Amino acid sequence: MSKFFTFFDTFIGSGYAVTMWNHPDRPYQDLPALPPSGVVETPAVLKATITASRALARLDGAYKRLPDPTMLINLIPLMEAQASSEIENIVTTNDELFKAANGALPDVTPQVKEALRYREALRAGHESLATRPITTKTAVEVCSHIHARTAIIRNQPGTYIGNPTTGNRIYTPPEGRGVILDHLSAWERFLHSDHGLDPLVVMALSHYQFEAIHPFFDGNGRTGRVLNLLILIETGLLQLPILYLSGHIMRHKDTYYEQLNAVTREDAWEPWILFMLDGVESTARWTLDLVETTDTMRAAMETEIRALNSKVPAASLTRLLFSQPYLRIDNVVEAGLAKRQTAARWLTEISDTGLVVKEKVGRNVVFINTRLLQTLFQTPLPDWCPTAPRWGTPSP
Protein backbone atom coordinates (compact mmCIF):
# COMPACT_ATOMS: atom_id res chain seq x y z
CA MET A 1 0.00 0.00 0.00
CA SER A 2 1.25 3.47 -0.81
CA LYS A 3 2.53 5.58 2.05
CA PHE A 4 0.05 8.20 0.85
CA PHE A 5 -3.60 8.06 1.72
CA THR A 6 -5.86 7.09 -1.14
CA PHE A 7 -8.82 9.38 -1.63
CA PHE A 8 -11.97 8.26 -3.41
CA ASP A 9 -14.56 10.38 -5.15
CA THR A 10 -17.22 7.91 -6.19
CA PHE A 11 -19.83 8.23 -8.87
CA ILE A 12 -23.11 7.13 -7.35
CA GLY A 13 -25.14 5.23 -9.89
CA SER A 14 -25.36 1.94 -11.69
CA GLY A 15 -21.59 1.72 -12.27
CA TYR A 16 -19.45 2.74 -15.21
CA ALA A 17 -17.34 0.38 -17.33
CA VAL A 18 -15.63 3.12 -19.27
CA THR A 19 -12.10 4.25 -19.94
CA MET A 20 -11.29 7.87 -19.18
CA TRP A 21 -9.11 9.42 -21.90
CA ASN A 22 -7.81 5.83 -22.50
CA HIS A 23 -5.56 6.02 -19.42
CA PRO A 24 -7.74 6.00 -16.27
CA ASP A 25 -4.77 4.93 -14.12
CA ARG A 26 -2.59 7.88 -15.13
CA PRO A 27 -2.95 11.46 -13.88
CA TYR A 28 -4.33 13.65 -16.66
CA GLN A 29 -1.41 16.06 -16.45
CA ASP A 30 -1.98 17.45 -19.95
CA LEU A 31 -5.67 18.19 -19.53
CA PRO A 32 -6.35 20.57 -22.45
CA ALA A 33 -7.11 24.16 -21.53
CA LEU A 34 -10.39 25.78 -22.50
CA PRO A 35 -11.89 26.60 -24.91
CA PRO A 36 -12.09 23.25 -26.71
CA SER A 37 -10.44 23.06 -30.11
CA GLY A 38 -13.66 22.11 -31.90
CA VAL A 39 -16.88 24.05 -32.40
CA VAL A 40 -18.95 24.00 -29.22
CA GLU A 41 -21.66 26.50 -30.14
CA THR A 42 -23.42 24.15 -32.54
CA PRO A 43 -26.89 25.02 -33.89
CA ALA A 44 -28.47 22.88 -31.16
CA VAL A 45 -26.41 24.58 -28.45
CA LEU A 46 -27.19 28.07 -29.76
CA LYS A 47 -30.89 27.26 -29.80
CA ALA A 48 -30.69 25.99 -26.22
CA THR A 49 -28.83 29.11 -25.05
CA ILE A 50 -31.65 31.29 -26.38
CA THR A 51 -34.29 29.23 -24.57
CA ALA A 52 -32.35 29.17 -21.31
CA SER A 53 -31.49 32.88 -21.45
CA ARG A 54 -35.14 33.79 -21.98
CA ALA A 55 -36.17 31.65 -19.01
CA LEU A 56 -33.58 33.38 -16.83
CA ALA A 57 -34.75 36.81 -18.03
CA ARG A 58 -38.37 36.00 -17.14
CA LEU A 59 -37.26 34.79 -13.72
CA ASP A 60 -35.20 37.94 -13.20
CA GLY A 61 -38.18 40.14 -14.00
CA ALA A 62 -40.56 38.18 -11.79
CA TYR A 63 -38.47 38.19 -8.63
CA LYS A 64 -37.77 41.92 -9.00
CA ARG A 65 -41.52 42.53 -8.84
CA LEU A 66 -41.77 40.86 -5.43
CA PRO A 67 -42.42 43.19 -2.47
CA ASP A 68 -39.26 41.73 -0.92
CA PRO A 69 -37.01 40.38 -3.71
CA THR A 70 -34.56 38.93 -1.18
CA MET A 71 -37.25 36.61 0.21
CA LEU A 72 -36.09 33.80 -2.07
CA ILE A 73 -32.55 34.05 -0.71
CA ASN A 74 -33.74 32.27 2.45
CA LEU A 75 -35.55 29.55 0.50
CA ILE A 76 -33.94 28.44 -2.77
CA PRO A 77 -30.32 28.22 -1.50
CA LEU A 78 -31.45 25.76 1.18
CA MET A 79 -33.03 23.52 -1.44
CA GLU A 80 -29.93 23.91 -3.61
CA ALA A 81 -27.81 22.90 -0.61
CA GLN A 82 -29.90 19.79 0.01
CA ALA A 83 -29.75 18.63 -3.62
CA SER A 84 -26.06 19.39 -4.17
CA SER A 85 -25.17 17.55 -0.96
CA GLU A 86 -27.32 14.55 -1.87
CA ILE A 87 -25.48 14.23 -5.17
CA GLU A 88 -22.44 13.46 -2.99
CA ASN A 89 -24.48 10.98 -0.92
CA ILE A 90 -24.86 13.41 2.00
CA VAL A 91 -28.54 12.76 2.51
CA THR A 92 -30.83 15.14 4.38
CA THR A 93 -34.38 16.34 3.82
CA ASN A 94 -35.52 19.83 2.93
CA ASP A 95 -37.69 19.79 6.04
CA GLU A 96 -34.68 19.09 8.27
CA LEU A 97 -32.66 21.84 6.63
CA PHE A 98 -35.40 24.45 6.90
CA LYS A 99 -36.00 23.58 10.55
CA ALA A 100 -32.28 23.71 11.36
CA ALA A 101 -31.79 26.98 9.49
CA ASN A 102 -34.56 28.56 11.55
CA GLY A 103 -33.50 27.14 14.91
CA ALA A 104 -36.38 24.67 15.01
CA LEU A 105 -34.44 21.39 14.98
CA PRO A 106 -33.28 20.32 18.45
CA ASP A 107 -30.87 17.60 17.27
CA VAL A 108 -28.90 18.67 14.20
CA THR A 109 -27.17 15.74 12.49
CA PRO A 110 -23.69 16.02 10.94
CA GLN A 111 -25.30 15.65 7.50
CA VAL A 112 -27.59 18.61 8.13
CA LYS A 113 -24.68 20.70 9.41
CA GLU A 114 -22.68 19.87 6.28
CA ALA A 115 -25.56 20.77 3.98
CA LEU A 116 -26.09 24.06 5.82
CA ARG A 117 -22.44 24.88 5.27
CA TYR A 118 -23.09 24.61 1.54
CA ARG A 119 -25.59 27.45 1.87
CA GLU A 120 -23.01 29.50 3.74
CA ALA A 121 -20.47 28.73 1.02
CA LEU A 122 -22.91 29.97 -1.61
CA ARG A 123 -23.57 33.13 0.39
CA ALA A 124 -19.86 33.80 0.91
CA GLY A 125 -19.13 33.25 -2.76
CA HIS A 126 -21.91 35.61 -3.76
CA GLU A 127 -20.63 38.30 -1.40
CA SER A 128 -17.09 37.93 -2.75
CA LEU A 129 -18.26 39.00 -6.22
CA ALA A 130 -18.74 42.52 -4.87
CA THR A 131 -14.98 42.92 -4.50
CA ARG A 132 -13.32 40.60 -7.03
CA PRO A 133 -14.05 38.33 -10.00
CA ILE A 134 -14.20 34.55 -9.71
CA THR A 135 -10.70 33.18 -9.14
CA THR A 136 -8.97 30.19 -7.61
CA LYS A 137 -9.21 32.07 -4.31
CA THR A 138 -13.00 32.04 -4.70
CA ALA A 139 -12.98 28.27 -5.14
CA VAL A 140 -10.73 27.80 -2.11
CA GLU A 141 -12.98 29.99 0.04
CA VAL A 142 -16.11 28.17 -1.11
CA CYS A 143 -14.59 24.75 -0.39
CA SER A 144 -13.34 25.98 2.98
CA HIS A 145 -16.85 27.03 3.97
CA ILE A 146 -18.23 23.65 2.89
CA HIS A 147 -15.79 21.80 5.15
CA ALA A 148 -15.52 24.38 7.95
CA ARG A 149 -11.74 24.28 7.61
CA THR A 150 -9.20 25.75 5.25
CA ALA A 151 -9.19 23.86 1.96
CA ILE A 152 -5.82 23.17 0.38
CA ILE A 153 -4.88 22.39 -3.19
CA ARG A 154 -4.01 18.70 -3.49
CA ASN A 155 -0.33 18.18 -2.77
CA GLN A 156 -0.19 14.36 -2.62
CA PRO A 157 -0.77 11.66 -5.23
CA GLY A 158 -3.46 9.05 -4.79
CA THR A 159 -6.66 10.89 -5.63
CA TYR A 160 -8.80 9.20 -8.25
CA ILE A 161 -12.43 8.82 -9.22
CA GLY A 162 -13.59 5.25 -8.97
CA ASN A 163 -16.50 2.94 -9.62
CA PRO A 164 -18.30 2.58 -6.25
CA THR A 165 -19.12 -1.07 -6.94
CA THR A 166 -15.88 -2.46 -8.34
CA GLY A 167 -13.37 0.08 -7.04
CA ASN A 168 -11.87 0.32 -10.52
CA ARG A 169 -10.41 3.64 -11.51
CA ILE A 170 -12.47 5.70 -13.93
CA TYR A 171 -10.39 8.84 -13.95
CA THR A 172 -7.22 10.15 -12.32
CA PRO A 173 -7.03 13.96 -12.23
CA PRO A 174 -3.83 15.96 -12.58
CA GLU A 175 -1.33 15.59 -9.75
CA GLY A 176 1.18 17.94 -8.18
CA ARG A 177 0.28 21.25 -6.60
CA GLY A 178 2.13 23.24 -9.24
CA VAL A 179 0.45 21.38 -12.10
CA ILE A 180 -2.98 21.83 -10.53
CA LEU A 181 -2.38 25.55 -9.96
CA ASP A 182 -1.33 25.94 -13.60
CA HIS A 183 -4.58 24.31 -14.72
CA LEU A 184 -6.56 26.55 -12.38
CA SER A 185 -4.80 29.63 -13.75
CA ALA A 186 -5.80 28.60 -17.27
CA TRP A 187 -9.36 28.00 -16.01
CA GLU A 188 -9.41 31.54 -14.57
CA ARG A 189 -8.14 33.05 -17.81
CA PHE A 190 -10.85 31.29 -19.77
CA LEU A 191 -13.55 32.62 -17.43
CA HIS A 192 -12.47 36.19 -18.05
CA SER A 193 -11.24 36.05 -21.65
CA ASP A 194 -12.94 37.76 -24.57
CA HIS A 195 -13.62 34.52 -26.47
CA GLY A 196 -17.10 35.49 -27.62
CA LEU A 197 -18.82 32.42 -26.16
CA ASP A 198 -22.27 32.70 -24.60
CA PRO A 199 -22.04 32.95 -20.77
CA LEU A 200 -24.20 29.84 -20.40
CA VAL A 201 -21.78 27.87 -22.56
CA VAL A 202 -18.91 29.28 -20.50
CA MET A 203 -20.60 27.98 -17.35
CA ALA A 204 -21.00 24.49 -18.80
CA LEU A 205 -17.44 24.33 -20.12
CA SER A 206 -15.89 25.67 -16.94
CA HIS A 207 -17.87 23.27 -14.75
CA TYR A 208 -16.47 20.30 -16.64
CA GLN A 209 -12.97 21.75 -16.46
CA PHE A 210 -13.13 22.37 -12.73
CA GLU A 211 -14.34 18.82 -12.09
CA ALA A 212 -11.57 17.44 -14.34
CA ILE A 213 -8.90 19.46 -12.52
CA HIS A 214 -10.34 18.22 -9.21
CA PRO A 215 -8.16 20.59 -7.18
CA PHE A 216 -9.20 19.52 -3.67
CA PHE A 217 -9.09 16.25 -1.76
CA ASP A 218 -12.86 16.48 -1.22
CA GLY A 219 -15.73 18.83 -1.99
CA ASN A 220 -14.91 19.42 -5.66
CA GLY A 221 -18.44 18.66 -6.90
CA ARG A 222 -20.17 20.92 -4.41
CA THR A 223 -17.64 23.69 -4.94
CA GLY A 224 -18.12 23.41 -8.70
CA ARG A 225 -21.89 23.65 -8.37
CA VAL A 226 -21.59 26.80 -6.26
CA LEU A 227 -19.31 28.23 -8.94
CA ASN A 228 -22.00 27.52 -11.56
CA LEU A 229 -24.34 29.99 -9.89
CA LEU A 230 -21.57 32.50 -9.26
CA ILE A 231 -20.69 32.48 -12.97
CA LEU A 232 -24.32 33.22 -13.87
CA ILE A 233 -24.34 36.10 -11.38
CA GLU A 234 -20.97 37.49 -12.47
CA THR A 235 -22.07 37.51 -16.11
CA GLY A 236 -25.35 39.27 -15.28
CA LEU A 237 -27.72 36.41 -16.07
CA LEU A 238 -28.79 36.17 -12.43
CA GLN A 239 -28.90 38.84 -9.76
CA LEU A 240 -29.18 36.48 -6.79
CA PRO A 241 -28.35 32.78 -6.28
CA ILE A 242 -31.96 31.64 -6.67
CA LEU A 243 -31.59 28.96 -9.34
CA TYR A 244 -32.25 25.39 -8.19
CA LEU A 245 -29.75 23.94 -10.68
CA SER A 246 -28.59 21.11 -8.42
CA GLY A 247 -32.17 19.87 -8.35
CA HIS A 248 -31.86 19.15 -12.08
CA ILE A 249 -28.48 17.49 -11.61
CA MET A 250 -29.77 15.36 -8.74
CA ARG A 251 -32.81 14.28 -10.74
CA HIS A 252 -30.57 13.22 -13.63
CA LYS A 253 -27.53 12.23 -11.59
CA ASP A 254 -26.47 9.24 -13.66
CA THR A 255 -26.64 11.30 -16.84
CA TYR A 256 -24.64 14.09 -15.19
CA TYR A 257 -21.75 11.73 -14.50
CA GLU A 258 -22.07 9.93 -17.83
CA GLN A 259 -21.84 13.20 -19.75
CA LEU A 260 -18.85 14.37 -17.72
CA ASN A 261 -17.14 11.08 -18.56
CA ALA A 262 -18.06 11.35 -22.23
CA VAL A 263 -16.35 14.73 -22.58
CA THR A 264 -13.07 13.26 -21.36
CA ARG A 265 -13.14 9.99 -23.26
CA GLU A 266 -14.87 11.14 -26.47
CA ASP A 267 -14.57 14.95 -26.56
CA ALA A 268 -18.40 14.90 -26.55
CA TRP A 269 -19.03 18.52 -25.65
CA GLU A 270 -22.44 19.06 -27.23
CA PRO A 271 -24.45 16.57 -25.10
CA TRP A 272 -22.78 17.88 -21.95
CA ILE A 273 -23.50 21.51 -22.77
CA LEU A 274 -27.10 20.69 -23.70
CA PHE A 275 -27.54 18.84 -20.41
CA MET A 276 -26.44 21.89 -18.44
CA LEU A 277 -28.47 24.34 -20.55
CA ASP A 278 -31.57 22.20 -20.15
CA GLY A 279 -30.96 22.32 -16.41
CA VAL A 280 -30.79 26.11 -16.42
CA GLU A 281 -33.93 26.40 -18.53
CA SER A 282 -36.04 23.88 -16.59
CA THR A 283 -35.05 25.11 -13.13
CA ALA A 284 -35.55 28.74 -14.17
CA ARG A 285 -39.09 27.85 -15.24
CA TRP A 286 -39.61 25.97 -11.97
CA THR A 287 -38.39 28.93 -9.92
CA LEU A 288 -40.53 31.34 -11.95
CA ASP A 289 -43.63 29.25 -11.22
CA LEU A 290 -42.62 29.17 -7.57
CA VAL A 291 -42.20 32.95 -7.46
CA GLU A 292 -45.63 33.56 -8.95
CA THR A 293 -47.38 30.96 -6.78
CA THR A 294 -45.79 32.04 -3.51
CA ASP A 295 -46.40 35.72 -4.19
CA THR A 296 -50.10 34.99 -4.72
CA MET A 297 -50.11 33.03 -1.46
CA ARG A 298 -48.29 35.84 0.32
CA ALA A 299 -50.79 38.46 -0.84
CA ALA A 300 -53.71 36.28 0.24
CA MET A 301 -52.22 35.66 3.69
CA GLU A 302 -51.49 39.36 4.11
CA THR A 303 -55.14 40.16 3.39
CA GLU A 304 -56.34 37.52 5.87
CA ILE A 305 -54.03 38.74 8.62
CA ARG A 306 -55.10 42.35 8.09
CA ALA A 307 -58.75 41.32 8.31
CA LEU A 308 -58.03 39.36 11.50
CA ASN A 309 -56.34 42.22 13.35
CA SER A 310 -55.91 45.65 11.83
CA LYS A 311 -53.20 46.51 14.40
CA VAL A 312 -50.86 43.83 13.08
CA PRO A 313 -48.29 45.06 10.50
CA ALA A 314 -49.65 42.50 8.07
CA ALA A 315 -47.29 43.18 5.17
CA SER A 316 -44.11 42.97 7.25
CA LEU A 317 -45.24 39.96 9.26
CA THR A 318 -46.30 38.08 6.14
CA ARG A 319 -42.93 38.73 4.52
CA LEU A 320 -41.29 37.23 7.60
CA LEU A 321 -43.50 34.15 7.39
CA PHE A 322 -42.50 33.67 3.75
CA SER A 323 -38.78 34.21 4.26
CA GLN A 324 -38.62 32.23 7.53
CA PRO A 325 -41.31 29.55 7.28
CA TYR A 326 -40.39 28.21 10.72
CA LEU A 327 -40.94 31.51 12.49
CA ARG A 328 -40.07 32.06 16.14
CA ILE A 329 -41.33 34.86 18.34
CA ASP A 330 -37.75 36.09 18.61
CA ASN A 331 -37.65 36.56 14.82
CA VAL A 332 -40.54 39.01 15.02
CA VAL A 333 -38.90 40.88 17.89
CA GLU A 334 -35.52 41.00 16.12
CA ALA A 335 -37.23 42.40 13.03
CA GLY A 336 -38.42 45.31 15.15
CA LEU A 337 -42.12 44.61 14.59
CA ALA A 338 -43.18 44.23 18.22
CA LYS A 339 -42.14 43.41 21.74
CA ARG A 340 -42.14 39.76 22.73
CA GLN A 341 -45.55 39.64 24.43
CA THR A 342 -47.26 41.40 21.54
CA ALA A 343 -45.50 39.24 18.95
CA ALA A 344 -46.56 36.08 20.78
CA ARG A 345 -50.18 37.27 20.85
CA TRP A 346 -50.20 38.10 17.15
CA LEU A 347 -48.73 34.76 16.10
CA THR A 348 -51.09 32.83 18.37
CA GLU A 349 -54.08 34.65 16.87
CA ILE A 350 -52.87 33.79 13.39
CA SER A 351 -52.27 30.14 14.25
CA ASP A 352 -55.73 29.86 15.82
CA THR A 353 -57.23 30.64 12.41
CA GLY A 354 -55.18 27.90 10.73
CA LEU A 355 -53.05 30.25 8.63
CA VAL A 356 -49.94 28.81 10.30
CA VAL A 357 -49.31 25.82 12.54
CA LYS A 358 -48.06 26.29 16.09
CA GLU A 359 -45.58 23.67 17.25
CA LYS A 360 -43.40 23.20 20.34
CA VAL A 361 -39.79 22.44 19.45
CA GLY A 362 -37.62 21.87 22.48
CA ARG A 363 -38.01 24.98 24.62
CA ASN A 364 -39.14 27.10 21.70
CA VAL A 365 -42.46 27.56 19.98
CA VAL A 366 -42.39 27.88 16.21
CA PHE A 367 -45.12 29.00 13.85
CA ILE A 368 -44.92 27.04 10.61
CA ASN A 369 -46.02 28.37 7.24
CA THR A 370 -47.18 24.96 6.04
CA ARG A 371 -48.76 26.38 2.88
CA LEU A 372 -45.41 27.67 1.70
CA LEU A 373 -43.52 24.53 2.67
CA GLN A 374 -45.97 22.27 0.88
CA THR A 375 -45.56 24.37 -2.26
CA LEU A 376 -41.77 24.30 -2.02
CA PHE A 377 -41.40 20.61 -1.29
CA GLN A 378 -44.19 19.21 -3.44
CA THR A 379 -43.74 21.17 -6.66
CA PRO A 380 -41.75 18.81 -8.90
CA LEU A 381 -39.18 19.94 -11.39
CA PRO A 382 -40.38 19.70 -14.99
CA ASP A 383 -40.35 16.13 -16.30
CA TRP A 384 -39.66 17.32 -19.82
CA CYS A 385 -37.72 20.06 -21.47
CA PRO A 386 -37.29 20.64 -25.21
CA THR A 387 -33.78 19.26 -25.52
CA ALA A 388 -34.12 16.32 -23.12
CA PRO A 389 -34.10 13.55 -25.76
CA ARG A 390 -30.58 14.58 -26.77
CA TRP A 391 -28.97 13.68 -23.48
CA GLY A 392 -31.06 11.12 -21.62
CA THR A 393 -33.97 10.41 -19.36
CA PRO A 394 -34.61 11.20 -15.68
CA SER A 395 -33.16 8.98 -13.01
CA PRO A 396 -35.86 7.06 -11.14
Q: Which amino acid is at 90?
A: I
163 belongs to an annotated ligand binding site: no
Beta bridge partners of 361: 364
Give, as one character, the DSSP assignment of residue 366.
E
Has 198 been labeled as part of a binding site?
no
214 is catalytic: yes
220 annotated as belonging to a binding site for a ligand: yes
Residue 355 one-letter amino acid: L
Helix axis angle for 110-128 and 136-147, nearest 10°, is 150
126, 214, 248, 252: the active-site residue:
214
Known binder of ligand: residue 279? no
Q: What DSSP state is assigned to residue 187? A: H
CB 182 within 8 A of CB 188: no
The rounded distance, in Å, linking the Cα atoms of 171 and 161 is 5
Task: Give the integer Cα–Cα distance in Å for 396 and 394.
Answer: 6
Q: What's the DSSP call for residue 310?
A: T
- Is 219 annotated to bind ligand? yes
The response to whether 326 counts as a known ligand-binding position is no
Q: Is 222 annotated as a binding residue?
A: yes
225 annotated ligand binder: yes
Peptide bond into 35 cis (omega under 30): yes
| 214 has binding-site annotation | yes
Please tell me whether 248 is known to bind a ligand.
no
192 with 206: CB under 8 angstroms?
Answer: no
Indicate the annotated binding residues for ATP: 88, 214, 218-225, 256-257
Active-site residues: which are they? 214
Indicate the annotated binding residues: 88, 214, 218-225, 256-257
